[in-house]
């Protein structure tokens, strides 16, 4: 019988057409990447660790927009060998490398994002605004740990928006939601909102604008994200207020011009 760990080591076939679609649209949603038993196994441990390590205890009505969007817990892998298996999985990392067209990928960081029942929107934003990295060869996998219908707030994307530079100076906020909603519509980037079946996952580039709706389903929306970067990427000098913190918190204090190759940023996949 194949174990969950063996499942996470097997390759998922990524076609040329999938890579082409990813490069053109800035994201791709893939079906049946993880089987139900594998998801059930890891969801139990991930949820237990989120409950243990969560530090947000304010009622929803007392939080700001970002606080209402989700409970966010980072680097669970440092607290659980089971979660580490998931985060370090070759199956997901190899897909990331294939989509980016690079020989290998490192871990930037990962986050569990749990949108509570009644949780609010996740505002429009692009992740790479926060990352002090020398290229755009970055990608995030978004893994729902249950079926995610539209009323649960699945991740949605502005198709093709990774190619344009407006809004790249906006942190996630009420302002980014309001401004980008208008800018993206005026630029005719289609909004793609789709439910996720169990086992579906999405990958999006660092500069792809995305958001999520409120969770009106009556159940929590449990999601794991893993951020991958080109194994040869380097640190750049800070250009906004968040960059220095990112280097210290997630990139091992790596100096400008060097590759973040410390214990927080291992290579998760490299082509043989």
- State the residue for tokens 């091992």: 252
> Using CA atoms, how far apart are residues 255 and 157, in angstroms rounded to an integer?
33
pLDDT bin (cut points 50, 70, 90) of residue 1 is very low
Predicted confidence (pLDDT) per residue in 11-34, tens digit? 999 999 999 999 999 999 999 999
In three-state secondary structure terms, 43 is helix
110 contacts 225 by C-beta, under 8 angstroms? yes
What is the arithmetic mean of pLDDT over 51-80? 89
Question: What pLDDT was estimated at residue 60?
Answer: 84
Of 49-63, 140-154, 182-196, 225-239, the range with the lowest mean pLDDT is 49-63
Give the mean pLDDT of the chain: 95
Question: What pLDDT was estimated at residue 61?
Answer: 85
Closest among 83, 10, 9, 13 to 53, alpha carbons compared: 83
What is the arithmetic mean of pLDDT over 193-221? 97
Question: What pLDDT was estimated at residue 80?
Answer: 97
Question: What pLDDT was estimated at residue 89?
Answer: 96
- How much of the chain is in helix, strand and coil states, percent to nearest 5? 35, 25, 45
- 191: enclosing H helix or E strand: strand 191-192
Q: Is the pLDDT higher at 272 or at 254?
A: 254
What is the arithmetic mean of pLDDT over 138-160? 98
> Using CA atoms, how far apart are residues 132 and 246, in angstroms rounded to an integer?
7
Question: Is the model's pLDDT at 210 over the cut of 50?
Answer: yes
Choosing among 3.40.50.150, 2.60.120.620, 3.60.150.10, 2.40.110.10, the CATH entry for 4-252 is 2.60.120.620
Return the domain boundaries, the chain.
4-252
What is the arithmetic mean of pLDDT over 88-108? 98
Predicted confidence (pLDDT) per residue in 154-197, tens digit? 999 999 999 988 999 999 999 999 999 999 999 999 999 999 99
């Amino acid at each position: 019988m194949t174990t969950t760990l063996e499942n996470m080591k097997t390759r998922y076939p990524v076609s040329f057409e999938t890579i082409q679609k990813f490069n053109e649209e800035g994201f791709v949603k893939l079906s049946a990447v993880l089987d139900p038993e594998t998801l059930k196994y890891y969801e139990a441990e991930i949820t237990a660790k989120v409950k243990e390590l969560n530090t947000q205890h304010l009622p929803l009505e007392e939080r700001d927009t970002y606080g209402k969007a989700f409970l966010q817990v980072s680097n669970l892998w440092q607290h659980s060998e089971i979660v580490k298996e998931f985060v370090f999985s070759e199956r997901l990392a190899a897909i990331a490398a294939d989509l980016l067209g690079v020989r290998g990928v490192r871990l930037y960081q990962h986050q569990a994002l749990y949108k509570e029942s009644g949780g609010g929107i996740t505002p429009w934003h692009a992740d790479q605004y926060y990352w002090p990295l020398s290229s755009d060869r970055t990608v995030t996998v978004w893994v729902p740990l249950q079926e995610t219908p539209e009323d649960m707030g699945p991740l949605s994307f502005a198709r093709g928006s990774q190619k344009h530079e407006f809004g790249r100076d906006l942190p996630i906020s009420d302002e980014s939601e309001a401004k980008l909603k208008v800018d993206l519509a005026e630029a005719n980037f289609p909004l793609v909102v789709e439910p996720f079946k169990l086992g579906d996952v999405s990958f999006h580039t660092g500069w792809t604008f995305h958001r999520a709706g409120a969770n009106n389903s009556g159940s929590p929306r449990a999601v794991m994200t893993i951020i991958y970067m080109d194994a040869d990427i380097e640190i750049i000098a800070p250009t906004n207020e968040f960059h220095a913190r990112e280097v210290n918190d997630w990139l091992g204090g790596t100096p400008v011009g060097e590759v973040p190759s410390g214990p927080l940023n291992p290579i998760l996949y490299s082509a043989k």
